[in-house]
Amino acid sequence: MTDNGTHTDRKWWTPFNVIVGIILAAGAILTVMRFTQGIGAVTNLDNNNAWGLWIGFDLLCGVALAAGGYVTSAACYIFGLKRFHSAVRPAILTAFLGYALVVLALHYDVGRPWRLPYPIFVSQGTSSLLFEVGLCVFLYLTVLFIEFTPAAFEWLGLKKIRALVVKLTLILTIFGVVLSTLHQSSLGALFMIAPSKLHPLWYSGYLPVYFFISSMFAGMSMVIFESTLAHRYLSRHMDDTHHREAPGVALGFAKAAAFVMAGYLGIKLIGIAIDDHWRLLTTGWGMWYLVEVIGFVAFPALLFAMGVRERNLIFVRWAAAWTVLGIVLNRLNISVIAFNYHLPSHERYVPSLMEIGTSVFIVTLGIVIYRFITTRMPVLHEHPDYSAHSPEQKSI
């Protein structure tokens, strides 16, 4: 561990640090503004457009892209695909950070953030899908936290309590999948209450299914994408197992993602057919819909497939990044772009620079924390005392 990074006397004035410093400083200013002058002072939200970028990007995309946690741990521990083992920890960490940042972002977006525990502890509005989302996100954040603690315990050398948590792996994984299924789909179902506001091409009775299925390939692509970045910038913190397994993980997830995306395209088609929305496809909104579905689902699925056939990691990585973009586009379409499509253009919502700045700030915060943790705790490498081939690891 000791020779794995902390010893280098790194320079402080690297371009990375400078940019991060500027973003964090700007974020601090925006935070002060938001909490002293209200939401209206930093956002372009209004009475017709109550949800903007902070819900569309920070919440919806954040949760979808953090799906790598449940996908990877399910692949490894439930489906018994042991070769994904070295990918589990970074995925769990990203998921945990992702959800933590989602919750942080919600503090900016809701009017009275100190009341965020109300739905669970004070007054349960059980008829609301947002209640479902809130409850599951709260529980899942707890599950992810527990799932990640072994890394922290190894770092701190607390063997006994680590062994205890490791015993819970299977049950935590199953809880994780159940909770993820619920809130990923419920995020889509949030919009089912507003058929008169969301464009019919995006509104569907299948919205929850679309959100759940797309969260799977979102998670897988994010794992590939993230490991691409980690390999480039955090390579020295990885051990041989990680290096050796990474291409296999990428190809495995690429294969799975491509096939899930094919299925997703199928159910999207069924959704159009069942509502008889074919005619809408030739309108302007229809073109935009096709850009999303063909350009950002079908195309990367094909790219994934080619990458898998050719064993070409470059293809796979590009496809992953493209898919991540596609998920962002889809979530923004549903929550912002095709939402309130019927309003005249001057009543439509366009995020303010300060809103965008706050979102960038929160993402940056995530990257900084990720780096802090991966350069210290055994995430991208195994702790020498607890290698995967030691007897206790074998039990899971």
> Residue 385 CB, nearest distance to other proteins (Å)?
25
Q: How far apart are CA 198 and CA 140, in angstroms?
A: 28
363 Cβ contact list (under 8 Å, min separation 6):
101
> Residue 154 CB, nearest distance to other proteins (Å)?
25
Q: Is 384 in the site for other proteins (CB under 8 A)?
A: no
Q: How far apart are CA 354 and CA 352, in angstroms?
A: 5
Taking every pair of C-alpha atoms in the chain, what is the biggest distance, in angstroms?
65
Q: Is 200 in the site for other proteins (CB under 8 A)?
A: yes
What residues are paired with 198 via a beta bridge? Answer: 339
The residue (of 314 and 343) whose beta carbon lies closer to other proteins is 343
Name the one range near other proteins by CB under 8 A: 147-155, 199-207, 319-327, 375-383: 199-207
Selected binder of other proteins within 170, 229, 269, 353 (CB under 8 A): 170
Selected binder of other proteins within 71, 129, 216, 324 (CB under 8 A): 129
The residue (of 57 and 212) whose beta carbon lies closer to other proteins is 212
Q: For the segment 172-191, give every residue that binds other proteins (CB under 8 A).
A: 174-175, 177-178, 181-182, 185-186, 189-190
Q: For the segment 264-283, give every residue that binds other proteins (CB under 8 A).
A: 267, 274-275
> Residue 309 CB, nearest distance to other proteins (Å)?
26
Q: For the segment 47-106, give every residue that binds other proteins (CB under 8 A).
A: 47-48, 50-51, 74, 77-80
> Residue 134 CB, nearest distance to other proteins (Å)?
6
Q: How far apart are CA 383 and CA 257, in angstroms?
A: 30
> Residue 242 CB, nearest distance to other proteins (Å)?
23
Cβ 95 vs Cβ 130: under 8 Å: no
> Residue 109 CB, nearest distance to other proteins (Å)?
8
Selected binder of other proteins within 206, 217, 296, 315 (CB under 8 A): 206
> Residue 119 CB, nearest distance to other proteins (Å)?
4
Helix axes of 129-156 and 159-167: crossing angle, nearest 10 degrees: 140
Name the one range near other proteins by CB under 8 A: 2-10, 132-140, 145-153, 319-327: 132-140
Q: For the segment 295-324, give every residue that binds other proteins (CB under 8 A).
A: none
Q: Is 226 in the site for other proteins (CB under 8 A)?
A: no
User: Of 209, 304, 293, 190, whose CA–CA distance to 257 is shortest?
Assistant: 304
Name the one range near other proteins by CB under 8 A: 113-121, 158-166, 231-239, 315-323: 113-121
The residue (of 77 and 253) whose beta carbon lies closer to other proteins is 77
Q: Is 391 in the site for other proteins (CB under 8 A)?
A: no
The residue (of 183 and 237) whose beta carbon lies closer to other proteins is 183
Q: How many residues bind other proteins (CB under 8 A)?
A: 71
Q: For the segment 32-51, give every residue that binds other proteins (CB under 8 A).
A: 35-41, 43, 45-48, 50-51
Q: Is 332 in the site for other proteins (CB under 8 A)?
A: no
Q: Is 225 in the site for other proteins (CB under 8 A)?
A: no
> Residue 72 CB, nearest distance to other proteins (Å)?
15
Q: Is 395 in the site for other proteins (CB under 8 A)?
A: no
Selected binder of other proteins within 205, 236, 283, 294 (CB under 8 A): 205
> Residue 332 CB, nearest distance to other proteins (Å)?
15
